[in-house]
Amino acid sequence: MSEDNRERNASAKQEHHGQIRTDTSKYNELGLTKRNQEFMYQLNKVLDQRGFSGEKRNVQVTDTLTKLEEGQKTGQTAKQLFGTPTAYAEELINGPAKNSAAANGEAAGYWPTAADSALSMLAIFAGMYGILGFFSKTPAAQAGQMGLLGIILVSGVFGLGWAWLTPMLNPTDKRKRVPLWRILLDMVALLAVILLLFTGVTMLPPVINPVLPPVAYIILALAAFGADLWIRRRFNVVGGMFAGPRNQRR
């Protein structure tokens, strides 16, 4: 950004005695989109509410605007760059959370990611079999429905495999990006293992792999979903099988 633009940004943002006006009209001339203007308005509003002012605030908001203008050129939004206004305001005031894997753009770790993926798959399988059980007129065992042990095994193996693939899909270090052919090959291998396991567990006798009634599957699905939410919050799992790539600020 040129020196003239920096001066223009500063004059559009700064008030006397280190205050910044929370007025979206001040950002119109900067060429920001409506959503990005609203983000800056909400950010300044939160900073006002927290009583955060002075030169430090001016410097940080100016730096935020610079990054926002640069990011907008490549189609990035304020939310993608900084998250929510409230969370980003907290970071400006107190600094990034030192112990947060999400704040540092790091993976939560192999085992939390594996548990997250396994519990997600367990919730899906259990919920699906529970719903089908309520509407199916054919006994579950005769319909080839997978039993409890089978669901747990398939979900667990999938979780372990997906946690192994996650660093390849969302590398924190762009210099260590894995070739696409290797990722596709590994995904096919994981799918093959899952299909073989799926076929094998359906052949187990009911005494080892019992088929539960529909209501039991629904309860299991809800329990797995609740446990997954706890895992994600406790270990800051920001990716996962249903999430997009992690947003990198830096």
Structure-model confidence comparison of residues 173 and 180, the more confident one: 180
C-alpha angle 114-117-123 in degrees, rounded to nearest 5: 135
**What pLDDT score was predicted for residue 247?**
41
**What pLDDT score was predicted for residue 194?**
92
**What pLDDT score was predicted for residue 16?**
40
**What pLDDT score was predicted for residue 107?**
54
Instruction: For residue 21, give the 3-state DSSP assignment.
Output: coil
Mean pLDDT of 203-214: 88
Mean pLDDT of 123-141: 81
Tokens 């693939």 belong to residue? 165
Q: Where are the domains of the chain?
A: 3-94, 110-235
Question: What is d(CA 178, CA 26) in angstroms, rounded to the nearest whole number?
Answer: 44
Sign of CA dihedral 40, 46, 49, 51: negative
Give residue 100's pLDDT band: very low, low, confident or very high (50, 70, 90): very low
Read off the pLDDT of residues 156-167 as tens digits, 9 standing for 90 and up: 999 999 999 888
Res. 224: pLDDT tops 80: yes
Give residue 186's pLDDT band: very low, low, confident or very high (50, 70, 90): very high
**What pLDDT score was predicted for residue 140?**
53
**What pLDDT score was predicted for residue 8?**
46
Q: What are phi and psi of 170, to 5 degrees?
A: -130, 70
Question: How remote is the C-alpha of 211 from its chain's centroid?
Answer: 33
Mean pLDDT of 53-72: 84
* Long-range contacts, stretch 186-195, CB < 8 angstroms, 24+ apart: 190/158, 190/161, 190/162, 190/164, 190/165, 193/157, 193/161, 194/154, 194/157, 194/158, 194/161
Mean pLDDT of 81-103: 71
**What pLDDT score was predicted for residue 155?**
95
Res. 14: pLDDT tops 50: no
Whose CA is closest to 9, among 90, 70, 79, 99? Answer: 70
Res. 66: pLDDT tops 80: yes
Question: What is d(CA 121, CA 157) in angstroms, rounded to the nearest whole number?
Answer: 10
Q: Cβ distance 158 to 117 under 8 Å?
A: yes
Structure-model confidence comparison of residues 140 and 224, the more confident one: 224
At 226, which amino acid appears?
A: G
pTM for this one? Answer: 0.55
**What pLDDT score was predicted for residue 99?**
45
Mean pLDDT of the chain: 78
Mean pLDDT of 84-96: 82
